[in-house]
Amino acid sequence: MNGKPVAVITGASRGIGRATAISLAAEGYDIAAIARSVNSEGMEILGSEVEKRGAQFFPVGLDISCTVCQMEVVSNILERYGRIDFLVNNAGVAPLHRKDLLEMTEDSYDRVMNINLRGPVFFAQKVAREMIWLKSQLQGYKPSVIFITSVSAELSSPNRTEYCVSKAGLSMASAVFADRLAKEGIRVFEVRPGIIMTDMTIKLTDKYTELINEGFVPQRRWGLPEDVGKAVASIARGDWDYSTGMVFEISGGLNIHSM
């Protein structure tokens, strides 16, 4: 059985997932990195960065929306390492096309909800069951689960309704998991990014840059994936062990209500 703690990150090949995996590798975690394709350039880059930090790298292919595929992935990680200490539910997508609420299609809604909400909820369920069992097997075992949501859990965008609804649902899922798993000794947290420079936002660089410069984001800069990775690393170190259910907003002050 592996002596080092093991972190599982979904959507690990780029953006927030990649930065989070690298931050956790620096904290002493071996990394099981989940992405739809394990042969992408992004996974190659991530593997190199993780191994530079003295951690093992285990690339795992999974479409998170395929709930019937999830248990095999969990079993493969446990077979390799014998433990899962930290789960970061990060995988998510935006709508393929931004459309007004009144023109949103059922296909787009179902796609986003399956990837952003249904898949992560059932993956967390499967991992949580194993974490409960592992607590009886591993001395000093202190597992945690993180849901990466978005400020869109609260901020309305009528041209991407399905995304907002999925993140609002995932925010509640985080609260429910925290409530249920507290008695099991498993801490659950929500990390809520704001406007972060990733592949998801790059097509809207000019729009968001203008908003940021005008003060929409009080700190007047883009968020970086590394900003989110550092927050996750702080949780992984155990800095917030008495704060299960906490929402950490990494948004440059978008959470501030001002007149």
In tens, the pLDDT along 130-168 reads 999 999 999 999 999 999 999 999 999 999 999 999 999
What's the whole-number mean pLDDT along residues 201-228? 93
Q: How far apart are CA 15 and CA 76, in angstroms?
A: 25
Judged against a pLDDT cut of 80, whether residue 127 lies above it is answered with: yes
C-alpha distance from residue 50 to each of 20, 47, 62, 224, 240 (Å)? 11, 5, 20, 19, 24
17: left (phi over 0), alpha (psi -120 to 50) or beta: alpha
Mean pLDDT taken over the chain: 96
Q: Is residue 1 part of a domain?
A: no
pLDDT (0 to 100) of residue 202: 84
pLDDT (0 to 100) of residue 204: 85
Domain of 194: which CATH number?
3.40.50.720
Q: How far does CA 168 lie from the centroid of its chain?
A: 14
Give the residue numbers spanning the domain of 74. 6-198+224-249
Q: What share of the chain is helix, strand, coil (3-state, %, to 5)?
A: 45, 15, 40
Judged against a pLDDT cut of 90, whether residue 2 lies above it is answered with: no
Q: Is residue 175 part of a domain?
A: yes
Q: Which helix (H) or strand (E) holds 207?
A: helix 205-213
pLDDT (0 to 100) of residue 227: 98
Share of the chain above pLDDT 90, in %: 95
Structure tokens at 255: 């959470």
Cβ atoms of residues 20 and 45 within 8 Å: no
Judged against a pLDDT cut of 90, whether residue 259 lies above it is answered with: no
Q: Is residue 210 part of a domain?
A: no
What digits encode the pLDDT tens for the residues 57-68? 999 999 999 999
Interhelix angle for 15-26 vs 225-236, to 10°? Answer: 40
Radius of gyration for the alpha carbons in the chain, expressed in angstroms and rounded: 18
pLDDT (0 to 100) of residue 64: 98
pLDDT (0 to 100) of residue 200: 85
Q: Is residue 184 part of a domain?
A: yes
Q: Is residue 214 part of a domain?
A: no
Domain count for the chain, please give it: 1
Cβ atoms of residues 115 and 91 within 8 Å: yes
Residues acting as catalytic residues: 163
What's the whole-number mean pLDDT along residues 206-234? 96
Q: Is residue 103 part of a domain?
A: yes
pLDDT (0 to 100) of residue 172: 98
Q: How far apart are CA 217 and CA 226, in angstroms?
A: 18
pLDDT (0 to 100) of residue 1: 58
Q: Is residue 215 part of a domain?
A: no
Q: Is residue 259 part of a domain?
A: no
